[in-house]
Chain A
Amino acid sequence: MAEIQLVHLSKVYGNDVTAVRDLNLEVAESEFMVLVGPSGCGKTTALRMIAGLEEITSGEIRIGGTVVNELAPRDRDIAMVFQNYALYPHKNVFENLAFGLRMRKVPKAEQKERVEEIARILGLGEMLHRRPAQLSGGQRQRVAMGRAIVREPKAFLMDEPLSNLDAKLRVQMRAEIARIQQALKVTTVYVTHDQVEAMTMGNRVAVMRDGVLQQVDTPQRLYDAPVNLFVASFVGSPPMNLFEAEVARGNGGLVCRVGDTELDLPPDVVAERPSLAEYVGRRVAVGIRPEDVREAAGWDGARLRGRILLVESLGSEQLVHIEIAAKPLERSDLVDTAAQPPGPSLGAGEFERSTTLLGRFDRHLLLAPDEAVEVAIDPRLLHFFDLETGVAISAVDVPAVAPVAG
Chain B
Amino acid sequence: MSTVTPIAPTPVAAVAPRGRGRRRRARQLGWNVVGLVVLFVMVFPVYWMVATAFKPGQQILSYTPQWIPTDPTLSNFRDAVDQPFFWDAAKNSIIIVTAVVALSVVLAFLAALALAKFHFYGRKAFIVLILGVQMVPLAALIIPLYILMSRVGQVDKLSGVIAMYLTFVLPFTVWTMRGFLLGIPKELEEAAMVDGATRFGAFVRVLLPLVGPGLVATSIFAFIQAWNEFIIAYVFLHTPQKQTLMVWLASFTTLRGTEWGPLMAGATLCALPVVVFFLLVQRRIAFGLTAGAVRG
Contacts and interface: CB of A to CB of B under 8 A. Distances in A.
Chain A bound to chain B: yes
A87 B291 CA distance: 10
B191 A80 contact: yes
A85 B194 contact: no
B90 to A, nearest CB: 36
Contacts of A151: 195-196
Nearest to A105: B196
A53 B221 CA distance: 36
A51 B189 CA distance: 13
A164 B295 contact: yes
Contacts of B289: 89-90
A79 B210 CA distance: 23
Interface in A86-131: 86-90, 99-100, 103-104, 131
Interface string B285-296: 000011111111
Interface residues of A, number: 32
B258 interface: no
A89 B193 contact: no
A140 to B, nearest CB: 7
Contacts of B194: 51-53, 73-74, 78-80
Interface in B180-215: 185, 187-188, 190-199, 201, 205-206, 209-210
A44 to B, nearest CB: 12
Nearest to B191: A86
A198 B231 CA distance: 68
A51 B291 CA distance: 26
A86 B292 contact: no
B294 A103 contact: no
Contacts of B192: 88, 99, 103
A368 interface: no
A405 interface: no
A85 B190 CA distance: 11
B193 A85 contact: no
B206 A88 contact: yes
B186 to A, nearest CB: 9
Nearest to B212: A90
B157 to A, nearest CB: 40
Contacts of B206: 88
A135 to B, nearest CB: 7
Given A74-B196, A164-B295, A90 B190 contact: no
Contacts of A85: 293-295
Contacts of A132: 292-293
Contact of A82 (B190, B196, B210, B291): B190
Contacts of B191: 80, 82, 86-88, 147
Interface residues of B, number: 26
Nearest to B196: A103
A84 B294 contact: yes
Contacts of B201: 103
A137 B187 contact: no
A89 B195 contact: no
A310 B199 CA distance: 57
A53 B193 contact: yes
Of B187, B199, B289, chain A has the most CB atoms within 10 Å of the CB of B187
A83 B293 CA distance: 12
A99 B192 CA distance: 8
A87 B195 CA distance: 12
A86 B296 CA distance: 12
B193 A86 contact: no
B155 to A, nearest CB: 44
Contacts of B195: 74, 79, 99-100, 103, 147, 151
B37 to A, nearest CB: 41
Nearest to A80: B194
Contacts of A79: 194-195
A46 B195 CA distance: 19
Contacts of B209: 90
A133 interface: yes
Interface in B206-229: 206, 209-210
Nearest to A88: B206
A66 interface: no
A275 interface: no
A172 interface: no
Contacts of A82: 187, 190-191
A134 interface: yes
Contacts of B197: 74, 103
Most buried by B among A86, A100, A104, A164: A86
A84 B292 contact: no
B210 A86 contact: no
Nearest to B290: A89
B295 A84 contact: yes
Contact of A133 (B185, B187, B193, B292): B292
B185 to A, nearest CB: 6
Interface string A146-178: 010001000000000000100000000000000
Nearest to A144: B191
B193 A72 contact: yes
A276 B192 CA distance: 54
B164 to A, nearest CB: 35
A150 B199 CA distance: 22
Nearest to A135: B292
20 contacts: A52-B193, A52-B194, A53-B193, A72-B193, A73-B193, A80-B190, A84-B295, A85-B293, A85-B295, A87-B294, A89-B289, A89-B292, A89-B293, A90-B210, A100-B195, A104-B196, A132-B292, A133-B291, A137-B295, A140-B295
Given A88-B191, A132-B293, A137-B295, 15 more contacts: A74-B197, A78-B194, A79-B194, A80-B190, A84-B185, A85-B293, A85-B294, A85-B295, A86-B185, A86-B191, A89-B210, A99-B192, A104-B196, A132-B292, A147-B195
